[in-house]
Chain A
Amino acid sequence: AQRVTQPEKLLSVFKGAPVELKCNYSYSGSPELFWYVQYSRQRLQLLLRHISRESIKGFTADLNKGETSFHLKKPFAQEEDSAMYYCALRAFTGSARQLTFGSGTQLTVLP
């Protein structure tokens, strides 16, 4: 079975500092990885997906199959980045096509 691990429940950084939210996964096949974000009092929404290889709001994430990681990075954090971030994996095993989410990391960017 697939599993997603986010080792940090809470992460605080100062504005302008680099930030990295860690995500590790276990899955025997070829995964699709996503980062979802939930800002205060807003809905959970997609931030980025590894297949797009895009940068959204200054965030990037690279899939490292050797280390089975998909860490989310931003070189200069902003206060508006404060939110709950979830790493998610989509696997294709039988009928199991739902997302498996990590437990989330609450990011706080301090002024």
Chain B
Amino acid sequence: GAGVSQSPSNKVTEKGKDVELRCDPISGHTALYWYRQSLGQGLEFLIYFQGNSAPDKSGLPSDRFSAERTGGSVSTLTIQRTQQEDSAVYLCASSLDSLQGGGEQFFGPGTRLTVL
């Protein structure tokens, strides 16, 4: 089957607007992760979902960021009142299970967000 998919691939928005980024994980993967990749900053963990457990939101940078995962599959990352510093590539990854599967995460192509 297909790998992790993300949409849109590119998003340009104006400061103050809300944006939604979508992630479709690999079928059967129970763990889903969101990261932010900023120039020169590497990958920054945002949030992680494991099955039906409460998500680990410890990486979300502010309360403007939120994410949900419906039906244990598709996930949406929402950024409210976007700021210019939110500009980055947002990566989604999934894995079989956060405990098993050797820890390998499969990454999507990312969504490049530009806030003007």
CB distance from B31 to the nearest CB of A (A): 8
Tally of chain A residues near chain B (CB < 8 A):
23
CB within 8 Å for A44 and B107 given contacts A49-B102, A96-B56, A97-B50:
yes
Chain A residues near B45 (CB-CB < 8 A): 98-101
Are A98's CB and B42's CB within 8 A? no
CA distance A103 to B39 in the complex (A): 10
CA distance A99 to B35 in the complex (A): 10
Q: Mark B23-65, 1 if CB is under 8 A from A, else 0.
A: 0000000010101000011111100101001001011000000
Are B103's CB and A90's CB within 8 A? yes
CB within 8 Å for A97 and B42 given contacts A43-B107, A44-B91, A44-B107:
no
Are A86's CB and B98's CB within 8 A? no
Q: Mark A74-102, 1 if CB is under 8 A from B, else 0.
A: 00000000000010001000011111111
**Residue A53 interfacial (CB < 8 Å):** no
**Residue B105 interfacial (CB < 8 Å):** yes
Chain B residues near A99 (CB-CB < 8 A): 33, 45, 103, 105
CB within 8 Å for A98 and B91 given contacts A44-B107, A49-B103, A90-B103:
no
CA distance A100 to B3 in the complex (A): 22
- Other than the given A101-B43, A103-B40, 10 more pairs (CB < 8 A) read A43-B107, A45-B106, A49-B102, A86-B42, A90-B103, A96-B58, A98-B56, A99-B33, A99-B103, A102-B42
Which 4 A-B pairs have CB atoms at the shortest separation, nearest pair first? Answer: A103-B42, A101-B43, A97-B98, A44-B107
Q: Show 28 A/B contacts (Cβ-Cβ < 8 Å), sorted by A.
A: A9-B40, A34-B103, A43-B109, A43-B110, A44-B43, A44-B91, A45-B107, A49-B102, A49-B104, A51-B102, A86-B43, A90-B103, A95-B56, A97-B31, A97-B48, A97-B56, A97-B98, A97-B99, A98-B45, A98-B48, A98-B56, A98-B59, A98-B98, A99-B33, A99-B105, A101-B35, A101-B45, A102-B42
